[in-house]
Each structure stands twice: as C-alpha cells, then as structure tokens.
Amino acid sequence: MILNEIPVLSFHPVALERTFVVADILAERYDEPFVEYGILGLGQQSNPFHVLETPILPGQRASVNFVFQPGRQVLHTRREIELLSKRRKHPLVPIALVHRHPGACGMSSIDVDFFVNVFVNHIATAVLLREPYVPGGEDFGCGCGTSRTRKQQTGGSAPEVTIDYAVAFSLIVNRSREYSIDAVRKSWCPFCAKPQVRLLPAELRVQPVRTLSESERRRIRSTLDVEIEAKIEFDKAPAEGVL
C-alpha cells in the first residue's frame, strides 16, 4: 500500500452480514436496540486485507455508549483466533475492529484515541508489511529522509531501503446498515525507526459479490444467537474513557 493510496478492506459477504445481523438480533430478541458491541475482523495472514471471519469479542461489557473487554478476556480472543485458524487451515490475523453506533457512524473522539493509540499497536505485531522507501515521500519529522536526499544530490551512494508499516481498519455500523470505514497506518523511519501514525480514509468492498441465500441467513442468525448469549454482558451504567 503506497502512502497516498486509499486503503481497501474487503469482506466475505457472510463475514460482513454478521456485523449487521448482531444489531437486528439485539433489537428483536434482547430488547437492546441501541447497545454497542465489538467484533473483530480476521483475514488470512497471506491476504490480511480480506476479512473472512468476524467473531464477537468474548467477555465484553456493552451498553448504549461503550464497549469494554476486560484484559483477562484477551487470552480467550487469542484462543478463538487459533481455533478459527485451524478450521480455515490457514493462520488468521486481526486486521479490523468493528463496532456499532446507535445512530451516526462517524468515529467519536474515544474511537479515534483507541484506534490510533491502542488497536494499531496490537495489529502491528500481527500484520507487518514492507514497501520501498521513496525519498521525499513520507516525512517522519526526524530529518533522516532529508539527509539521505542531500547525500544523493552530492553524488553519494546509498543502499536501497524499505519502510516497515502496519495498517488497521475501523468499521462502524448501525442497524440501518449504514457504515463508515477508516484506516490507520503506522510506519517506522527506515533510518532511525521513529514511528508515525496517520489516520486515513478507507474503502470497503464485498468479495465475492453475491446475494446470500435464505438458508445462509438463517445459519448466521442461529450462530449469532448463541454467540451473543455467550459473549456479551449488557451494562446499563454509562462509562467514561472506554471504547
């Protein structure tokens, strides 16, 4: 992914449908029409920008204005990723965080803070990518790139270098099947390793493009009924400073 390109995240149609059906079930069967919830988007390690699985985060507390997963539940999340990887026969990695807003889908200040300061740091350990360094392209604020360009202009030679970077996505949905998607790119200066985080617009696609059958939709709802009961704890009290 070149820095100025719009990142694209694709979803398998079943994986995307799950993110909306959770809202339907909460409203129809649990009398929780406005509660938020958290879902993890997983892609194959060999193709991380295509989401195949969207498990509900286990052990989460959810209310109308927050989603919170206690730290002890992170191990359960890792275990679930391992089980899904075995079922797929390919390693799966987290690439997206999906959560629901009762109304508008734009990111809140809490969403942005969590996304750029917490989530991408965990993704960086799972999905680390590399691209050629372009002199004068990405400015890390450290001056290393300027020094390299000057050296080239004065006839000095410099070895070819690459930039390590990670990309994570935030997908926010609501019950009206509206959504917004954003990406965050964390990259490291190839000379001094200074990190830089950028919030970027992104694009969502569905691959393959097809209409789900009624039997597929029934299976999705049946599976999610069990997942919601097992994984989401409803909390009526508001909380500050959490996603």
Q: Is 50 inside any structural domain?
A: yes
Q: Is 30 inside any structural domain?
A: yes
Q: Is 223 inside any structural domain?
A: yes
Tell me the mean pLDDT in the region 162-174.
93
Q: Is 216 inside any structural domain?
A: yes
Q: Is 125 inside any structural domain?
A: yes
Number of structural domains (the chain) is 1
* pTM score: 0.87
How many Å apart are CA 166 and CA 121, to the nearest integer?
A: 9
Which residues does residue 171 pair with via DSSP β-bridges, in sequence order?
Answer: 98, 181
Q: Is 185 inside any structural domain?
A: yes
Q: Is 152 inside any structural domain?
A: no
Tell me the mean pLDDT in the region 11-24.
96
Beta-carbon contacts of 120 under 8 Å, excluding residues fewer than 6 positions away, are: 166, 168, 184, 186, 197
Beta-carbon contacts of 62 under 8 Å, excluding residues fewer than 6 positions away, are: 35, 36, 37, 38, 68, 232, 233, 234, 235
The closest alpha carbon to 29, from 236, 234, 174, 212, belongs to 234
Q: Is 228 inside any structural domain?
A: yes
Tell me the mean pLDDT in the region 206-230.
96
**Domain region containing 22:** 8-130+163-234
User: For the domain that residue 216 is a member of, what is the CATH number?
Assistant: 3.40.140.10
pLDDT at 147: 62
pLDDT in tens, 120-161: 887 777 788 999 988 877 888 888 877 655 455 445 555 688
pLDDT above 70 for 237 = no
Q: HEC string of the chain?
A: CCCCCCCEEEECHHHHHHHHHHHHHHHHHCCCCCCCCEEEEEEECCEEEEEEECCECCCEEECCCCEECCHHHHHHHHHHHHHHHHHHCCCEEEEEEEEECCCCCCCCHHHHHHHHHHHHHHHHCCCCEEEECCCCCCCCCCCHHHHHHHHHHCCCCCCCCEEEEEEEEEEEECCCCCEEEEEEEEEECCCCCCEEEEEEECEEEECCCCCCCHHHHHHHHHHHHHHHHHHEEECCCCCCCCC
pLDDT in tens, 51-98: 999 999 999 988 887 888 877 777 788 899 999 999 999 999 999 999
pLDDT in tens, 170-203: 999 988 999 999 999 999 999 999 999 999 999 9
For residue 6, the number of C-alpha atoms closer than 13 Å in the C-beta half-sphere is 9
pLDDT at 64: 83
